[in-house]
Structure 1
Amino acid sequence: MTSPGRRRAQKQRRVRRRRLPMRYLLPSLFLVALLAMLMLRGYVHSEILADHRVRPPVSYDQVPEHILKGGPVIDARDAKAPKALSVPDKKLVLTFDDGPDPVWTPRVLDKLKEYDAHGVFFVTGTMASRHPDLVERMVNEGHEVGLHTFNHPDLSFQTKNRIDWELSQNQLAIAGAAGVRTSLFRPPYSSFSSALDNEAWPVTQYIGSRGYITAFNNTDSEDWKRPGADAIIKRSTPKGTQGAIVLMHDSGGDRSQTVEALDRFLPQMQKRGYEFTVLTEALGAPSAHTPVAGFELWKGRAWVTAVAVSESTTSVLVGGLAVIGVLVIGRFGLMLALSFAHARKVRRRGFTWGAPVTEPVTVLVPAYNEKECIENTVRSLMASDHPIEVIVIDDGSSDGTADIVENMWLPNVRVVRQVNSGKPEALNNGIRHARHDIIVMMDGDTVFEPSTVRELVQPFGDPRVGAVAGNAKVGNRDSLIGAWQHIEYVMGFNLDRRMYDLLGCMPTIPGAVGAFRRDALERVGGMSEDTLAEDTDITMAMHRDGWRVVYAEKARAWTEAPESVQQLWSQRYRWSYGTMQAIWKHRRALIESGPSGRFGRVGLPLVSLFMVLFPLLAPLIDVFLLYGLVFGPTGQTVVAWLGVLAIQAVCAAYAFRLDRERMVHLISLPLQQLLYRQLMYVVLLQSWITALTGGRLRWQKLRRTGVVEAPGSIPSQRRSGDDRSPVA
């Protein structure tokens, strides 16, 4: 029988297993917050939940005659006795719809203040939420504000729930902006009260039942047509001494003519004895404004604050997206130009690095539990057409990796055993045992072509070259994940590395295929354990020591890429975090002069921008794509995304052509952009979080299958089913 304590422990373990890992939780929260801010911005810009339908007039037989023939103000708060009210003679109520606008509303307010006039601003919730300071100014300067709905829909199309929602959201914005509620309302797309029809009248009645007075107009300036200041003044002027509610606009486009008309209309009418006043004062009614306090006030302020944060954040993100777009296109253009120049340089007839390098070299193979791959790796080296010695450094393997190599009985192959100490120490141990001055390093899951070593060491004919990067290729590209990594590798090695080579700031010698001068390694202190990206670390150290680091395109190595999302995550997480560590370790290169100055001025900023900062912001492209597809201009969004994809496809196709790869794998490029890229973003975000929180990341061993073989390598007897026997 299981004890209660043991059952509790088992339950706790199950709970822990069900808990969402932080590596998923934090990036997910980040993306959700980003999407929420974008949705909020779309909401207050009438891109989400907006209804732009406008219904044509219908019959009027259900509207009371005294309403149709009465004044422009409808008080339907008493459902049994709705009233139509008029503005007294010599009173003018200027009303401004659709604001506040950050450009034109302040100018309208300035003119009203200049002539000591007041008016009524029927504000939309969207604009009031975005510009609360202007609503506050309206109230502080003695003007009245009224509701004009939140998203400006035709209410005759809406349900009662939607109408209530439009009103409450509009009030929320006004409360947050100015600390008041209002009892005034003007429906969108309205005109004179005499235009009320059988569809609009029930809405007016319902609005009245919610405690609002509906203010139409009886004098339309038609300033929205922009007929000129003279025409606006003429249409705004009532006959004789009649009072009027004048309709103008302080938003919705260029309102310069409205401002110009006010500058002449206000003094003209004041000279005729007219008073410009607010609506309730003209009607002799209580003020339309009621102060709010407590929870209602704080809720309004929280709303306005949330909108402000969303507006600011998304504005920055939109600007960042524009910068990213320019950088992406610029980088692609630079890569194409420089990779073309590099290919012409190294492929032209008679090109040499210097005197041919024919002396033997040492190949170091650090291995930890590589029993599935190690025989293929060693046999591929035995097919090399360049003289080599092979040193397999067994880093405390528990699966018999060292025994497999020793039992192969191959000439010029030695095994060095050590307790598990990590890859950098294994390589340093191999350097100490190396007999030759040029040292090639590779991974235990990688296989070389017969010409790889020879091609890799030829750049050492130039005495300035301290390290050479080879061309790593994905061997297991048959799966979708493998195909995506294949595209990534081909583009990275045939565009990025060619570009960095010409710029003289190669950031990384790949661990799968790289070569070094022994004295260059000794001068920089060998492989360091300071970072998890020892290959990037040593490359940056080489630059800072004044050595050239170049790319050998024909030195091809075939490596086994991760075959599952989990393995890929682990590998890229380590790479991203290690790259950040290396950049931080070598940050002083930015201010150094002398041999390392070029790398510090060019290489380190490029690596920081395009390998660390840019990928972190790149998800904006996809977030805005998703938003644009659902809420924005769908056609333009699709065209823009297809344009970016086309640029990437051109670059990928050129990289494949340089590497003489089959184009068929590019079929999966669109999926790579939609799925694979997102995984890489989240991995980088997690790396940032780990770095900023001071977390530590350990080496993680990936599961290998040993399926990769290089073209021209010696077939593995173990793979063909034979017993493992000594090979002379």
Structure 2
Amino acid sequence: MTTPSSPALPRTSPPLTVTVIIPAHNEEAGLPATLRSIKSQSVPPDKIIVVDDGSTDHTGAVAASYGVTVLRPPGNLGSKAKAQNHALPHCDTDLILAVDADTVLAPDYIEQLKPAFDDPAVQVAAGNVQTRFARTPWERGRSTEYLFGFHWHRPIQQLADSPMVCSGCCSMFRRTALEESGGFPERTIVEDMDFTWSQQAAGRRAVYVSDAVAWAADPETLTYLRKQVWRWMAGFMQNVRLHLPRLLTRKPMLATWVIVALLEILAAPLWWAAPVLLTTAYHEPVPRTLGWWAGAELFLTIPALLYAARRRRLPITQVLLNLPFVYLNKAVNLYYAWKALLVELILVPLRLSRGLVIYEKGR
């Protein structure tokens, strides 16, 4: 007599483990909110490491008061990537979540991001970044940039399986991919874009998860905005120089986004000068040409902002009132984009400049 055998239960993999790395240099003011957001996650991390990178304030003591692991290099390491790499040997989890010391995560950030790594091809993922504060003109302009970029550009890039960057303030990495790559990239001034592009060029995946939300503290003054935008633009051009030839053959869709971004930088001065050029060439009244130009700008911008406001449950009036300030930021962006193009794509290959090699904080 035989008894029927029980059906085999499906094998389940153990849950992926997570270490959070927070590089911090003089971040005693912003660090508590960051740590509170991490310690209150619906899916808590297995380990939290703060790298007190040469701070001259109470960053280390603040971090220790939250019961996290605090690492103190002998001296300031000089960049975020180097501080993150200082912590990497202390990590033995499946995933590494790199969080800036002034970024606050939504309570379900880790819960939203982890499922992306059920696909073994995914090596890096990040969520939707919004501004924590909108007090100064520069912060208000940045809030508009983020609303537009993370609800228009980034979803389109994700649909094409080729996001331009997984934001370094809140990106999650597969630890084995980092170790195989030699850690967080230090060869460019923006490690997040470097890793995002190199992994996709190698046939692996980067993912944007729109439902995972983080709030970053952005530059509140022009001085810090200039430093941050110069670093971002120089880093973008460094990655163009380093990766674009390979992307053209290995990841043509990502190469397409890169080329479009370069063309936008080249064409931007012509677009900004269009009202003057049209008035001069066709003798049109200035109010008419300005009206045409402003109408085109609003047509290309407002629908995405209205969608973003609804998605983020933000007051539409406030979103629209912040819109004029984005043009202050755009002027700064354009200046440093052209400077970076000249320095990193022309002067550096000609050995007339070393390019940007010193990491400066943006706030």
Q: Which residue number corresponds to residue 608 of structure 1?
A: 259
> 1:319-354: per-residue Cα shift (whole Å, max 9, x none)?
xxxxxxxxxxxxxxxxxxxxxxxxxxxxxxxxxxxx
Deviation at 1:568, TM superposition (A): 0.8
In structure 1, the residue matched to 2:329 is: 676
Aligned to 2:359: 699
Contact 1:366 1:426 in 2 (8 A): yes
Once residues 357 and 565 of structure 1 are traced to their aligned partners in structure 2, the CA distance between those partners, rounded to angstroms, is: 48
Of 221, 231, 235, which residue of structure 2 is paired with 1:574? Answer: 231
Cα distance, 1:591–1:689 mapped onto 2, change above 3 Å: closer
The question of whether the paired residues in 2 share the 8 Å contact of 1:649 and 1:669 is answered with: no
Verify: 1:375 aligned to 2:32, yes or no: yes
| Equivalence map 1:99-138=2 (5 Å) | none
| Mapping for residues 285-296 of structure 1, pairs under 5 Å | none
d(CA) in 1 for partners of 2:279, 2:328: 17
Return the letter of the residue paired with 1:391.
Answer: I
Are 1:532 and 2:189 an aligned pair? yes
Distance 2:327 2:181 in 1: 41
How far 1:570 sits from its partner (Å)?
A: 1.0
Rounded Cα–Cα distance in structure 1 between residues aligned with 2:312 and 2:66 = 36
- Whether the 8 Å contact between 1:363 and 1:440 is mirrored in structure 2 is yes
Q: Which segment is superposed worse, 526-535 or 624-633? A: 624-633
Q: Count the aligned residue pairs.
A: 339
Alpha-carbon distance change, 577 to 675 in structure 1, aligned in 2, over 3 angstroms: same
**C-alpha separation in 2, matches of 1:358 and 1:384:** 16
CA-atom RMSD, angstroms? 2.2
Secondary structure, aligned partner of 1:508: coil
CA distance, structure 2, for counterparts of residue 438 and residue 379 of structure 1: 20
Residue 672 of structure 1 and its aligned partner are, at CA, apart by 3.7
Which residue of 1 is the match for residue 273 of structure 2?
Answer: 623
Q: Distance in 2 between matches of 1:490 and 1:626?
A: 30
* 1:468 CA displacement: 0.7
Q: Deviations over 1:427-473 (max 9, x none)?
A: 12222111311111111111112211111212112222211111111
Superposed displacement of residue 480, structure 1? 2.5
Distance (whole Å) between structure 1 residues aligned to residue 181 and residue 154 of structure 2: 22
Kindly report which structure 2 residues correspond to 1:97-246, keeping only aligned pairs within 5 A, or say none.
none
| Partner SS, residue 362 of structure 1 | strand
Q: CA deviation at 1:393?
A: 1.2
TM-score by length of 1: 0.44
Corresponding residue number in structure 1 for 2:3:
none
Candidates 82, 86, 94, aligned match of 1:425: 82
Q: 1:398 is matched by which residue type in structure 2?
A: T
1:404 aligns with 2:87: no
Q: Match of 2:338? A: 685
Aligned to 1:459: 116
Encode CA deviations 1:290-332: one digit per residue, 9 max, x unaligned. xxxxxxxxxxxxxxxxxxxxxxxxxxxxxxxxxxxxxxxxxxx
Partners of 1:447 and 1:687 in 2: CA distance: 30
Say if 1:363 and 1:390, in contact at 8 Å, map to a contact too.
yes
User: Is the CA contact 2:128–2:209 (under 8 Å) kept in the aligned structure 1?
Assistant: yes
| Contact in 1 for aligned 2:141/2:328 (Cα 8 Å) | no
Is the 8 Å Cα contact of residues 53 and 72 (structure 2) preserved in structure 1?
A: yes
- Pair 666,629 (structure 1): closer, same or farther in 2 beyond 3 Å: farther
In the alignment, what sits opposite 1:651?
A: 304
Aligned in 2, Cα 1:532/1:462: closer, same or farther, shift over 3 Å? same
Q: Distance in 1 between matches of 2:39 and 2:136?
A: 29
- Distance in 2 between residues matched to 1:529 and 1:446, nearest whole Å: 22
**2:156 aligned with 1:499:** yes
Q: Deviation at 1:669?
A: 5.7
Q: Tell me how far apart the structure 1 counterparts of residues 202 and 247 of structure 2 sit (CA, whole Å).
A: 14
Q: 2:51 aligns with which of 372, 388, 393?
A: 393
Within 5 Å, give how 1:411-450 maps onto structure 2. Answer: 413-418=68-73, 419-421=75-77, 422-450=79-107
Match of 1:637 among 284, 289, 302: 289
Q: 1:609 deviation in Å?
A: 2.2
Partner of 2:142: 485
- State the shift of 1:586 in Å: 1.1
Match of residue 162 from structure 1: none
What do residues 90-111 of structure 1 show as CA deviations (whole Å, max 9, x unaligned)? xxxxxxxxxxxxxxxxxxxxxx
Name the SS for the 1:618 alignment partner. helix
Q: CA deviation at 1:654?
A: 2.1
3-state SS of 1:586 partner? helix
> Alignment partner of 1:488: what SS?
helix
Q: Which residue of 1 aligns with 2:5?
A: none
1:437 partner amino acid: D
Instruction: Give me the whole-angstrom Cα distance separating, in 2, the residues matched to 1:570 and 1:667.
Output: 27
C-alpha spacing 1:638/1:357, structure 2 compared with 1 (3 Å): farther
- Tell whether the 8 Å contact from 1:386 to 1:453 is kept in structure 2 after alignment: yes
| Alpha carbons of structure 1 residues 477 and 591: separation in structure 2 relative to 1, 3 Å | closer
Whole-Å separation in 1 of the counterparts to 2:191 and 2:172: 14
Relative to 1, partners in 2 of residues 1:516 and 1:643: Cα closer, same or farther, differing over 3 Å? same
Tell me: CA distance 1:357–1:460, structure 2 relative to 1, closer, same or farther (3 Å).
Answer: farther
Deviation at 1:498, TM superposition (A): 0.8
Taking the aligned partners of 1:662 and 1:510, their CA distance within structure 2 comes to 25
Higher relative CO (Cα under 8 Å, sequence separation at least 6) belongs to 2
Alignment check: 8 A CA contact 2:127 2:214 kept: yes
Q: Residues 180-235 of structure 1, C-alpha deviation per residue, up to 9 Å, x if partnerless?
A: xxxxxxxxxxxxxxxxxxxxxxxxxxxxxxxxxxxxxxxxxxxxxxxxxxxxxxxx
CA contact (8 A) 1:357 1:457 kept: no
Question: What residue ranges of structure 2 are gaps of 5+ in the alignment?
Answer: 1-11
| Contact 1:475/1:558, CA 8 A, preserved across alignment | yes
1-side partners of 2:142 and 2:326: how far apart?
A: 12
Asked if 1 retains the 8 angstrom alpha-carbon contact of 2:148 and 2:308, the reply is yes
Flag the 1:482–1:524 CA change in 2: closer, same or farther, 3 A.
same
Asked if 1:586 is matched to 2:243, the reply is yes
Q: How far off is 1:513 after superposition?
A: 1.1
Whether the 8 Å contact between 2:132 and 2:218 is mirrored in structure 1 is yes
User: Equivalent pairs: percent with the same residue?
Assistant: 29
Structure 1 residue 558 displacement after superposition: 1.2
Quote the residue 1:544 is aligned against: 201
Q: Secondary structure at the match of 2:309?
A: helix
Residue type at the aligned position of 2:314: E
Larger Rg: 1
